Structure formats: C-alpha cells, structure tokens
Amino acid sequence: MQLPATVPLAPSSTSCGDWQAGLRAELAEAGRIGFAGQFPSSCGEREWSIAPADPDGYAARAIEGMWRELGGKITGTVRDGKVPVGLKPAFVNKSLSLAEVIRDINKYSNNVMTQQLFLTLGLQSTGRGSWESGRQVIGNWWRSRWPQLTPPVWENGAGLSREERITARSLAGMLQTAWASPQMPELLSSLPIVGVDGTLRRVNTSGAKGMAHLKTGTLRDVTALAGVVNSHSGKRYLLVGMINHPLAPNARPALHALVDWAAQDAPSATPNLASNAPKVSQQR
C-alpha cells in the first residue's frame, strides 16, 4: 500500500468534530490511500478502520508485501479455488472469542469488524454469508424477543449506513433485556468508559468520568450515545440520546450534559420499567 508519510494539520483552533470528513480521504485506488484535507490537532491520536477498495485482491497484496519485507520474492500468482483433495492447511489461525471481538468493535467503533460479524451470523445460520442472510438472522432474532417494539432497519450491519436506524425506545428496550441476560457483563465491559478509554477517552464531563459505559454513534449529521450510567447514589440508568441534524456534531456537549444529569441522579423520579433492570432515561 502507498501511504502518505504525513497529514497536514488544521489550525489549532479547529474543533475535532467530524475529523474523518475533514481528512477528505482518497480511497478509490486499490493500492493507495491518500488524504486531500487536514486533521485537527485537537483530536489527538485516532484510529480509522477502512475496508480495502479491492477486497478480492487484498490478501494477495498483503501477503506479498509482508513476504518482500522479510526478503522473499514472489513470482507466481494467487489463484482462487477449492483446495485439492488430500491437502491440508499449512497452519490454522483461530479467531478470538466472540466477547473479545465485540470488545474491539465497541471500544473503537470498528465498522469493518462489525460488518464481518454481521456476515458471519448469516453464514452460520443460513449457509450464505451475505447482507440479506445477515438481515434475515438479525430480523428473526429481534422479532422473537421484542415483538412489541418497532424493529430497527438494517442494511450492512454497521454504523456507516444512511439506511440503518432505530428508535430511542426500541434501543432502550433492547438494553433492558441485555441487562437481565447472562451476557450482560461481557456487553457492558465492551462499551467505552467515559473519560477513560475507547471513543470516549477524551470526553470531559463534570461528574461522570469513569461512571458510564456508552457506545457512540457518529455520521456527518448524526451524533448519539447509548448505554448504562452509574449514578453517584449507586443506582444505574439506561441512557439513549440521538441527535439528527446538519449541525449534530456541535451538539455533543448536550449529550455529555445528559450523561452528567443521569450520573447526578436527576432522573430519580422516573419509574423502573422492570424490577431487574436499570431505570430508563431517554432523549431524542
């Protein structure tokens, strides 16, 4: 891959905001990644997982590149096809556990890994690893658990979609069920902690640092938070906040104030919807 050695920095007064759009990435060429824009220094260090432009040829290029770095030379070609009968793999690399994979996905909003998980669910359930089979599996799963809630709309299983959507009430209902499930500890530990790690590492709140496990959601005109907030009294609240507006990134302080509001037990008058689940705080 041809990669730029440096990226121009935006003026120090530039807020982090939608830093990915500001970079103006050039990703159309299979063997090259370029940036025509600037990166705000206020963002600090960031990670951006990008699907290769030519996924079918990516493995061959990656292996050849690593082999050349080790001093080797490849003169043949890579062929796609079934392995001849009797041959066995030279080595096998097992995936991380599902809990570890989801932790990497949620902590850093890795959309590429999310899409691979979505395709894998479809493959294991129907024998076909496609967007349609993934949508079928997830749709059946949702309807079997929350028939009373408006189902989400799925496209490719990740956050980088203009079609996918969910209501605040449906997301809160799903989180309530997740809280009562045996997998709750794994899910909670996979979510970024406000002011501590993941995509919320640099978020400064007045009184909620280290007290909220939340997943971020960001597009050019969308910003959202959802998860669990531990309050100063020891109570826990489900929080769902979504903002859809051309200036949505500018409203992040409002969502951070919502997290503080919950941490300070402001929603204490809200009744529990289930005795074994946190209280619900919703903002649309």
The pLDDT value recorded for residue 116 is 92
d(CA 73, CA 75): 7
The pLDDT value recorded for residue 30 is 79
The pLDDT value recorded for residue 17 is 75
The pLDDT value recorded for residue 278 is 56
**pTM to 2 decimal places:** 0.72
Query: Which domains does the chain carry?
Result: 1-93 (no CATH), 94-165 (no CATH), 166-284 (3.40.710.10)
Q: For residue 151, give both structure tokens.
A: 């189902």
Q: Residue 194 in contact with residue 258, Cβ under 8 Å?
A: no
pLDDT < 70 positions in the chain: 268-284
CB proximity list for 23: less than 8 A, separation 6 or greater = 7, 35, 37, 38, 39
Query: Which residue from 21, 16, 5, 6 is spatially nearest to 41, judged by alpha carbons?
Result: 16
pLDDT tens track for 139-187: 999 999 999 999 999 999 987 888 999 999 999 999 999 999 999 999 9
The pLDDT value recorded for residue 283 is 46
Q: For residue 57, give both structure tokens.
A: 């040829």
CA 74 to chain centre: 37
